[in-house]
Amino acid sequence: MSSQESQVSPKDASYELLYWPGFPGRGEFIRLALEEAGITYMDTAQFKNGIDQVIAQYDEKNLGDDFNPPPFACPILRHGDLLISQTSNILLYLGPRLGLVPKDDKHHDALYKVNMLALTALDAFSNEMHESHHPISVGLYYEDQKDEAKRRTKDFVQTRLPKFLSYFERVIQGKASGEGPWLYSGQLTYADLVLFQGLNGAKHSFRKAMAAAEKSGKYNRVFELYEAVKERPKIKDYLASKRRLNYANGLFRYYEELDFDLEDRD
Amino acid sequence: MSSQESQVSPKDASYELLYWPGFPGRGEFIRLALEEAGITYMDTAQFKNGIDQVIAQYDEKNLGDDFNPPPFACPILRHGDLLISQTSNILLYLGPRLGLVPKDDKHHDALYKVNMLALTALDAFSNEMHESHHPISVGLYYEDQKDEAKRRTKDFVQTRLPKFLSYFERVIQGKASGEGPWLYSGQLTYADLVLFQGLNGAKHSFRKAMAAAEKSGKYNRVFELYEAVKERPKIKDYLASKRRLNYANGLFRYYEELDFDLEDRD
């Protein structure tokens, strides 16, 4: 086999997700795309010693291979001889292959619009979500940055969260979203799945604020999208399965002292 | 003209960058790609009232148009009837069009590798860079989060910065980077330009640490890449031109109290 051939990711190669076990984390954005498409995939979080594959990628001597630069962090996707990291990048690769990006003539350049929406949902519910409990250092325990976390999370919940919810409400209200509950093109795309997972994580972490946001009636379209994803048959089966991990001390956490309301009630 | 035709971005339409005036910011990652390609483009930072176009996009009533969802924030690229946001997404669109992603048979799936590297450089030098001076809230002044900024920046400079520099050193050391100073495929890609701009911003913000990092000899490949980009004829011309804005109170800032050394010297 020539080196060129060996880099082609064969269509029949299985998808392999390398991610930490024990919590949904950023891996969940990838899992939902694979689950919605009904694809069988390998997930290091699901088998004994799977974590060893993750740790090997983090090795400070890992230089990647002939075709792939080393990844900086997981989630990582392996498909045949391809190995890539970065959540939005993996979704960019998987989206068209899993039928989660429109490919009709009416929606030119759809991938850039879906990617834009997915990146924005990830900014909100992955990046800023993580910063809320780790505002000083990813290398320190939460307990060692608790005061700063309180200050940051209050701002996130009361300022950033409503801003992002308003934004996605506007996206669904706009004409480019098409008919129905989705963000773009009138069809389910992977951006909808990313937003669903982000909202699900936010509902876990910020119970008061998310309940108040839903009750306010200001973001009805966003919560309709949330319910519509939740009721997709394959997603519903997945959420009820053992493959769906429980929230723990990962990206989406619950701390009573960080569960701020949407507005101060005093 | 049918609605389908109107969504096609004609190859001869000019690229328009919508970004804040007064500092390089995140717009700079886009500008360097256009400059390296020798493309004439419109830049709202360069003309009077250009900022009005940016502000209009942020309007809370902006629902986008028939084809494009509204953007959440700039940088924004307009190309014909296409309007997209998110730095990495704009580069993803421009990269192949500007010859900044390899398209030879030997480098299958190159776009996902270049995008992975660009996203990682943006994580380091755009996202975490911004958090260093705004660890609590993007809506508060630096002065109102100065104590937290000191704590966060010390961690960034002494822990995260060396980690990212080591990572990119490994990338260049690896086989997938090919011959020469570049990150991937032995050819200049837009990921190299993103890393260059990130390093340039870090040299402005963290003078002591970046000087120590260069002197240490641990990241020689990274600094060779930096010099190689800087010496590209079109980049060199651009950096000496008036189009290159000076650093100010944008993404890349200099505060004496945040200019930590790479290691404590006490």
Partners of A85 in the β-ladder: A76
């990962």: which residue's tokens?
A: A250
In this structure, are residues B182 and A67 in contact, taking their beta carbons and an 8 Å threshold?
Answer: no
pLDDT tens-digit readout, B108-137:
999 999 999 999 999 999 999 999 999 999
The SS3 assignment for A249 reads coil
In this structure, are residues B64 and A171 in contact, taking their beta carbons and an 8 Å threshold?
Answer: yes
> Nearest 10 degrees: CA dihedral of B219, B222, B225, B229?
-120
- Residues of chain B under the 70 pLDDT cut: 1-11, 266
In this structure, are residues B18 and B78 in contact, taking their beta carbons and an 8 Å threshold?
Answer: yes
> What local confidence, expressed as pLDDT, does residue A266 receive?
67
In degrees rounded to 5, what are phi and psi of residue A229?
A: -65, -45
Q: How far apart are CA B207 and CA B203, in angstroms?
A: 5
Q: Where are the domains of chain B?
A: 3-97, 110-258
Q: From the candidates B3, B7, B63, B219, which should be mutated to test the interface with A, based on the most A CB atoms within 10 A?
A: B63
Residue B247 token pair: 């650093």
- Cα A25 to Cα A17, A22, A167, B118, B172, distances in angstroms: 13, 9, 23, 22, 29
Contacts of B113 in chain A (CB under 8 A): 68-69, 84
Contacts of B86 in chain A (CB under 8 A): 115-116, 119-120
Task: Say yes or no: do domains B3-97 and B110-258 share a fold.
Answer: no
Tell me what the pLDDT averaged over chain B comes to: 95
Q: What's the CATH superfamily of A3-97?
A: Glutaredoxin (3.40.30.10)
pLDDT tens-digit readout, A188-213:
999 999 999 999 999 999 999 999 99
Q: Which of residues A24 and A9 earns the better pLDDT score?
A: A24
The nearest alpha carbon in chain A to B179 belongs to A66
Partners of A17 in the β-ladder: A43, A77
Amino acid at A176: A
Whole-model pTM: value is 0.96
Q: What would be the CATH architecture of the domain defined by A110-258? A: Up-down Bundle (1.20)
CB contact under 8 A, B109 and A9: yes
